[in-house]
Structure 1
Amino acid sequence: MNAQEDFVAALLDPERACPAQLTAWNGSDPAVRFAVYRNNVLSSLIDALAASFPVVQQLLGEEFFRAMAAVYARHSPPRTRILADYGADLPAFIEAFAPASSLPYLADVARLERLRIRAYHAADAAPLAADALTKALASPDRLASLLLRLHPSFGLLESAFAVVSLWAAHQGALTLAEVDPYQAQCALVLRNGLEVEVFGIRPGDALFLQTLQQGLPLGHAAQRALALDSAFDLGTCLAHLLRAGAITHCAYDPQRPLP
């Protein structure tokens, strides 16, 4: 291990001694100064995680969250300089973190919060004008080959838990007493301007959007959605997507011949 690797390893491991190569310009004890620096680095990483996962912190309580975040930070240091990217694998860590096992929905709440961060930093794209889609829908014989492109901020989460309601409760839209966390929900995450929004959607809508996201045409997506959910309504779903600015482009699939 070279000096730089030794420094990094010691920085995140309180059991390691101060690197032997360190000296202080004013003659003070390098070990004392390094301990202060180590604490500041760890505290900064925990603060970054708390800023990215506020609902997870509220569900756990600040003391528990910071203790868990310290364990995570020591084993998973940042891999880039962009702290907004830090914590991408925290949901998986939470799933395996035994002290948090009494809250089985916690990892999916963390996944929802990660989707919100990704959406906030996603590229901009102008939403499709309503009349452009109306024009395309005016040719029903070609709907099967219509391709829709979704906004770069679009994110989808299917959960066995009430992640949308749990998130909403911590925004003041509901009370926790109203939420049954063990009700499955699908979440659509989308940025509208600078505001990231979270919508609860039906399973059929979620499958429809997943299929579009895979680059498959509207007709195929609608068939899959209806097979899963007989209450799926294509018109209602498309209207909601247009209002939310979720569609940015539409075109007919060149691989499918005209009828």
Structure 2
Amino acid sequence: MLYFSEPPAIQALNCMPTFESSRAEVTVEPSTGVVQHHRILDTPLREDVAWSDAFQWRNFSEDGRYNGSYTSNYRNGSRPSYVYNFDVTISYGSFFMKSILNAADIILAGLEAPNGSYQSSSLGESLRDKVFNMQDNTTGLNLDFMSYAAYAQVGFSPTALLDPEVLAQTSQKIFSTFFQHFASNNLSREHGGNVYQPRGMDLKVNTPMRDMPTQYTPDGSVAPKFQDIVLF
């Protein structure tokens, strides 16, 4: 438990992540992959399909039946059990946000249900995992990567980010930079990547299972379904 001799200084912003897309013209050096020139051809528009899938269950199938035995204080026996298969789809907006915001809390990574609720809220933060966070036990520093990057951008000043304009500008820059790396990581024409799929590829997936929740964008509107988006 922490005790403060006086109220600590705190600054917070209510931010809404937004992704935009546009047609572009890019000139690339084939041998090195270095971008020589690029030009945006249209006015960028919101890409709400980024939020179409947040762990949606699809393509459900039953894979065999077997008899499972059980033992109790009263009797022994067996009962039929089933193995079920299904695919889980996640769109790049949800994937990026879950990665960037939840990576520092890796112990909870597998505990989120499809409706967005956590199966357990009794687990505290692990200070021993030493992954996806910046910790210094001598000073009490304990930041996720995005927060640490913003802290570094202001020269590690403990007060600079208390200015709401500085906090907003720095956060936007960090968010954009992280997403640029996310979108370009392991990107290829043959296999696509985290954001882009190969040109002309048809994703053959069935509709989500009936009990899957409606998908929303961060501003509360219903997200479009990715299979309804016309690809160019």
Task: Give TM class, smaller chain.
Answer: under 0.3
Structure with more helix by fraction: 1
**TM-score of the superposed pair, with normalisation by structure 2:** 0.21
Question: Larger relative CO (CA 8 A, sep 6+): 1 or 2?
Answer: 2
